[in-house]
């Protein structure tokens, strides 16, 4: 039987969300004893638990068919892989940052300066494009302390909230690229594996489509139905069912939580009662 092999981060910021995404797709993963390989009983899927840095290489070599990894690692490793889908979590940017008291005006500041980073490939490409000549100091962790210990004049690193920069007296001066978790695939997947990947992507789509949407049920007097339905954005057209109590109906529809709070008061003003808001797990449009 054909099995799709997916690489996910073993331990780190992406691990929980990657497995969580599979769970939402009704794919539960049982981890083996050595915790390097997991299997699923709900889908022909094998999970390889790896360091995120290794995922692009494993996928390019076809050891894993697909992988969930940060776009930053995909850009840095620059392997022969296909970006299949952006997943919308682990969002961050990779930026240049300089000491807060620097007289920074524009990129030319970096000429002749030392920049510490774990992303030398992305940085070199950017500097070449901008015709800036700097010295890249490649280090694997705690990049943000490099300027204070005299190892570099500035850094190029991942920024999310920005608080790491602030607590190290640095300021972000240039966003070079944005990143989020993505699915990558090996080129030339077999037809059988492509079908399994398509099936997985379809499940992910139904989960993502449901996000933020709520199923709403409410009771309304029949003479107010028209006005209340006008207030409801809905999917196509709401379902209206008669209640046992004469002159009343039950309205069912789907509303995004963004819109829900804006219409709730108006619904009540128009006589809606017994409003229920229910989470939606999956939506197939």
| Backbone angle region of 202, left / alpha / beta, with phi > 0 → left and psi within -120 to 50 → alpha | alpha
User: Closer to ligand PRT at the Cβ: 99 or 271?
Assistant: 99
13 binds ligand PRT (CB under 6 A): yes
Contact 86, 204 (CB under 8 A): no
Which of 3, 39, 44, 53 is close enough to bind ligand PRT by CB under 6 A? Answer: 53
76 binds ligand PRT (CB under 6 A): no
User: Closer to ligand PRT at the Cβ: 10 or 214?
Assistant: 10
Q: How far apart are the C-alpha atoms of 100 and 85, rounded to whole Å?
A: 37
In the complex, what is the shortest distance from the CB of residue 139 to ligand PRT, in angstroms, rounded to a whole number? 12
Count of alpha carbons within 13 angstroms of residue 96, beta-carbon side:
24
157 binds Zn ion (CB under 5 A): no
53 binds Zn ion (CB under 5 A): yes
Give the list of residues 6+ apart from residue 82 with CB closer than 8 angstroms, or none.
Answer: 184, 185, 186, 187
12 binds ligand PRT (CB under 6 A): yes
User: Closer to ligand PRT at the Cβ: 179 or 249?
Assistant: 179
Count of alpha carbons within 13 angstroms of residue 213, beta-carbon side:
20
In the complex, what is the shortest distance from the CB of residue 144 to ligand PRT, in angstroms, rounded to a whole number? 6
Chain centroid to CA 281: 18
SS3 49: strand
98 binds ligand PRT (CB under 6 A): no
* Near ligand PRT in 150-169, by CB under 6 A: 157-164
Q: How far apart are the C-alpha atoms of 20 and 9, rounded to whole Å?
A: 12
Report the interface residues with ligand PRT, using CB under 6 A. 9, 12-14, 51-53, 70, 72-73, 90, 92, 144, 157-164, 179
């Amino acid at each position: 039987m054909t099995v799709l092999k997916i690489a996910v981060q073993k331990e780190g910021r992406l691990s929980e969300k990657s497995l969580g995404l599979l769970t939402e797709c009704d794919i539960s993963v049982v981890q083996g004893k050595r915790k390097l390989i997991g299997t699923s009983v709900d889908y022909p899927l094998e999970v390889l638990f790896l360091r995120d840095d290794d995922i692009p290489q494993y996928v390019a070599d076809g050891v894993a068919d697909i992988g969930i990894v940060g776009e930053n690692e995909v850009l840095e490793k620059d392997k022969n892989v296909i970006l299949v889908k952006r997943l919308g979590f682990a969002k961050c940017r990779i930026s240049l940052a300089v000491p807060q008291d620097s007289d920074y005006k524009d990129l030319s500041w970096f000429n002749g300066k030392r920049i510490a980073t774990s992303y030398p490939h992305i940085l070199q490409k950017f500097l070449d494009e901008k015709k800036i000549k700097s010295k890249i100091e490649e280090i694997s962790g705690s990049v943000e302390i490099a300027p204070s210990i005299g190892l570099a004049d500035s850094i190029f690193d991942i920024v999310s909230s920005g608080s790491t920069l602030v607590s190290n007296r640095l300021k972000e001066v240039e966003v070079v690229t944005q990143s989020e978790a993505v699915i990558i695939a090996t080129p030339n997947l077999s037809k059988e594996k492509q079908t399994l990947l398509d099936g997985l992507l379809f499940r992910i789509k139904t989960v993502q489509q449901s996000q933020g949407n709520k199923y709403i049920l409410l009771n309304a007097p029949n003479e107010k139905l028209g006005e209340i339905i006008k207030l409801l954005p809905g999917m196509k057209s709401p379902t209206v069912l008669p209640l046992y109590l004469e002159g009343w109906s039950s309205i069912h529809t789907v509303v995004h939580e963004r819109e829900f709070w804006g219409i709730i008061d108006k619904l009540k003003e128009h006589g809606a009662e017994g409003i229920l808001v229910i989470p939606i797990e999956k939506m197939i449009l």
